[in-house]
């Protein structure tokens, strides 16, 4: 199904909860655990979300002091994980923020139905004076190393609970066998030889060790359909889990993005826009749908729109619902680009400048 059609289905499902409805973004108000049930299965490409941490016990964040025990909190998160698996497209991704104290147990909960690909350590190289307790506290009073990082769990929906088994690997293997081709024959047809053995590229793709480029996928697509034994294959955007990375970007799992400096009206847990953009750019195609179930200041939705994707934001607190609504209005003119040929340039202002090739 196309992204615009998926977006329309989500709008229809959430219609009774929608507070603001923009061309490429919707904001729904209420308890996201309840609202998620109205989002159609396999309709979202990226879930980028930041639940209450529970361990930080901030009474100015709804949900942070709600749970009487870690067990109760983890049971609540597990109910989300079940819904997230249902909602995500099989080639989708999830990135979930959490506190370092809870990360290991949340990761275990994820591993029931997701392949956990990275646990990112986000540390904040802030200037003195904007460093929380780090500079001010008495170091001699510490009884453990000072926790100066947050974690982000990055995962994909699991196929058979196997880290290396990708959705695309399964699609390719099934179609190739249906076409009656061996790995070697498909390699010959596409001309995509591995460096080491003759079955090379195809066997690596099927094993999930890597994925084909758009051009390589076009060759596979034609080769399989031309056998006359395979009637349809997903498009590149529906087959491959996007992960766009290069050496000019932060490609390791240790990140150093400064936190958002205090300003009047700042959300107590507001995440830096540039970090959210880094995530969205790497893990989605232009036009994809990005869901945030704990929208807070609306930064995920703002980053999503700046990059020409479609945003679905859910928030429970009326104060933040109103904030997101007015924040997103400035993005209503940002166009959605249906191809990967879009380039963008970031500006200091909130609005993005988009050009299309």
Ligand X SMILES: C[S@@+](CC[C@H](N)C(=O)[O-])C[C@H]1O[C@@H](n2cnc3c(N)ncnc32)[C@H](O)[C@@H]1O
User: Where does this chain bind ligand X (CB under 6 A)?
Assistant: 31-33, 50, 52, 61-63, 267, 269-271, 294, 296-297, 299, 314-317, 320
Alpha-carbon gap, residue 331 to 353, rounded angstroms: 11
Q: How far is the CB of 238 from ligand X (least distance, A)?
A: 28
Residue 257 · residue 303 · CB < 8 Å? no
Q: Which is nearer to ligand X, 120 or 316 (CB)?
A: 316
Residue 291 is encoded by which pair of tokens? 């869901």
Which secondary structure element, helix H or strand E, spans residue 136, and what is its range? none
Q: How far is the CB of 23 from ligand X (least distance, A)?
A: 22
Q: Which is nearer to ligand X, 223 or 269 (CB)?
A: 269
Strands (DSSP E) found in the chain: 18-21, 25-29, 44-49, 88-99, 114-123, 149-157, 254-255, 289-292, 310-315, 342-345, 353-356
Q: How far is the CB of 276 from ligand X (least distance, A)?
A: 7
Alpha-carbon gap, residue 204 to 287, rounded angstroms: 28
Q: Which residue is nearest to ligand X (CB)?
A: 296
Q: Which is nearer to ligand X, 30 or 194 (CB)?
A: 30
CA end-to-end span of the chain: 25
* Partners of 345 in the β-ladder: 353
Alpha-carbon gap, residue 267 to 43, rounded angstroms: 29
Q: How far is the CB of 35 from ligand X (least distance, A)?
A: 8
**Residue partners of 295: CB distance under 8 A and separation at least 6:** 27, 301, 313, 314, 315, 320, 324
Q: Number of H helices and number of E strands within the chain?
A: 12, 11
Q: How far is the CB of 331 from ligand X (least distance, A)?
A: 16
Q: How far is the CB of 144 from ligand X (least distance, A)?
A: 24
Tell me the chain's radius of gyration from C-alpha atoms.
22
Q: Which is nearer to ligand X, 23 or 33 (CB)?
A: 33
Q: Which is nearer to ligand X, 15 or 178 (CB)?
A: 15
Q: Which is nearer to ligand X, 101 or 317 (CB)?
A: 317
Q: How far is the CB of 6 from ligand X (least distance, A)?
A: 21
Q: Which is nearer to ligand X, 222 or 350 (CB)?
A: 350
């Amino acid at each position: 199904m196309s992204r615009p059609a998926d977006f329309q289905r989500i709008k229809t499902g959430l219609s009774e909860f929608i507070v603001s409805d923009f061309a490429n973004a919707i904001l729904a108000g209420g308890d996201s655990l309840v609202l998620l049930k109205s989002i159609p299965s396999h309709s979202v490409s990226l879930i980028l979300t930041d639940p209450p941490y529970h361990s930080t016990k901030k009474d100015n964040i709804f949900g942070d002091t709600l749970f009487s025990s870690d067990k109760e909190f983890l049971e609540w998160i597990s109910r989300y994980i079940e819904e997230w698996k249902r909602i995500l497209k099989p080639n989708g991704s999830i990135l979930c923020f959490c506190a370092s104290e809870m990360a290991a147990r949340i990761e275990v909960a994820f591993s029931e139905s997701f392949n956990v690909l990275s646990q990112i350590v986000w540390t904040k190289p802030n200037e003195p004076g904007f460093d929380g307790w780090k500079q001010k506290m008495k170091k001699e009073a510490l009884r453990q190393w000072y926790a100066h990082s947050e974690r982000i769990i990055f995962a994909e929906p699991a196929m058979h609970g196997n880290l290396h088994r990708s959705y695309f690997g399964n699609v390719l293997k099934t179609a190739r066998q249906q076409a009656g081709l061996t790995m070697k024959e498909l390699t010959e047809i596409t001309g995509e030889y591995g460096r080491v053995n003759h079955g090379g590229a195809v066997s690596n793709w099927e094993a999930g060790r890597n994925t084909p480029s758009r051009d390589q996928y076009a060759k596979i697509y034609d080769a399989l359909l031309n056998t006359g034994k395979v009637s349809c294959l997903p498009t590149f955007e529906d087959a491959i889990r996007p992960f766009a990375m290069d050496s000019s970007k932060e490609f390791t799992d240790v990140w150093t993005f400064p936190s958002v400096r205090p300003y009047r009206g700042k959300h107590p847990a507001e995440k830096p826009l540039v970090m959210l953009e880094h995530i969205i750019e790497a893990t989605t195609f232009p036009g994809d749908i990005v869901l945030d179930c704990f929208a807070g200041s609306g930064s995920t939705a703002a980053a999503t729109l700046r990059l020409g994707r479609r945003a679905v934001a859910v928030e429970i607190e009326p104060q933040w619902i109103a904030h997101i609504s007015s924040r997103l209005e400035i993005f209503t003119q940002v166009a959605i680009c249906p191809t990967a040929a879009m380039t963008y340039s970031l500006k200091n202002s909130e609005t993005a400048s988009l050009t299309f090739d």
